[in-house]
Amino acid sequence: MSDDFYHDDPIEEKTTRKFRNNLLSSAAVVIASVFFFQSTLAGNITLSSGRAIEFGQGVSQTVACSGANNLTLTPYSTFTNAAGAGGTHYFSSFTVSGIPSSCDGAQFQVNAYGNSNASPLALYNTTSTDVIVADMASTFRLDTRATGVTLTNISSSSFTVTFDTPVATSDSVFKLTIQSTTNSIQTTYSLGNTGPGGGKIFYVASTPFACGPTRTSSCTYLEAAPSGWNNGLADPKAKWSNAYGFINNVGSPETATATAIGWGYRNTRAIILAGNTDTGTASALADSYTVTVGGVVVDDWYLPSLDELNEMYTRKTNIGGFDVLDYYWSSTDSTSNSNNARRQYFGNGENGTGSGKLTPNKVRPIRAF
In DSSP notation, 27-94 reads SSEEE---EEBSSSS--EE-SSSSS-----TT-B----TTTTSPEEEEEEEEEEE-STT-EEEEEEEE
Residue 138: predicted pLDDT: 62
Residue finishing a domain among 182, 211, 230: 182
Residue 60: predicted pLDDT: 31
Distance CA 66, CA 53 (A): 25
Same-domain check for residues 40 and 119: yes
Residue 9 placed within a domain: no
Strand, coil or helix: what is 190? Answer: coil
Same-domain check for residues 246 and 126: no
Residue 364: predicted pLDDT: 98
Residue finishing a domain among 150, 182, 214: 182
Same-domain check for residues 246 and 347: yes
Residue 63: predicted pLDDT: 44
Distance CA 230, CA 363 (A): 10
- The H-or-E segment that residue 15 falls in is none
Same-domain check for residues 77 and 104: yes
Residue 264 placed within a domain: yes
Same-domain check for residues 275 and 312: yes
Same-domain check for residues 163 and 204: no
Residue 252 placed within a domain: yes
Residue 352 placed within a domain: yes
Residue 137: predicted pLDDT: 64
Residue 193 placed within a domain: no
Q: What is the pTM of this model?
A: 0.57
Residue 87 burial (CB count, 10 A): 10
Same-domain check for residues 240 and 360: yes
- Provide φ and ψ at 162, rounded to 5°: -120, 130
CA dihedral in degrees (221, 222, 227, 230; nearest 10)? 120
Same-domain check for residues 176 and 321: no
Q: What does the pLDDT profile of the chain (369 residues) look like in tens digits?
A: 334 433 433 333 333 322 222 222 222 233 333 333 332 222 333 333 433 333 332 233 334 677 777 788 889 988 888 777 678 889 999 998 888 888 877 788 888 998 887 889 999 988 888 888 877 666 787 766 667 888 888 888 888 999 999 999 988 988 888 887 765 555 678 899 888 888 999 999 999 999 999 999 999 999 999 999 999 999 999 999 999 999 999 999 999 999 999 999 999 999 999 999 999 999 999 999 999 876 678 899 999 999 999 999 999 999 999 999 999 999 999 999 999 999 999 999 888 778 899 999 999 999 999
Residue finishing a domain among 182, 212, 231: 182
Same-domain check for residues 209 and 145: no
Residue 333: predicted pLDDT: 98
Distance CA 191, CA 34 (A): 41
Residue 330 placed within a domain: yes
Residue 191 placed within a domain: no
Beta bridge partners of 71: 29
Residue 117: predicted pLDDT: 77
Same-domain check for residues 150 and 236: no
Same-domain check for residues 297 and 224: yes
For residue 301, the number of C-alpha atoms closer than 13 Å in the C-beta half-sphere is 29
Same-domain check for residues 43 and 100: yes
Host domain of residue 298: 200-368
Report the number of distinct structural domains present in the chain. Answer: 2
Residue 33: predicted pLDDT: 36
Residue 248 placed within a domain: yes
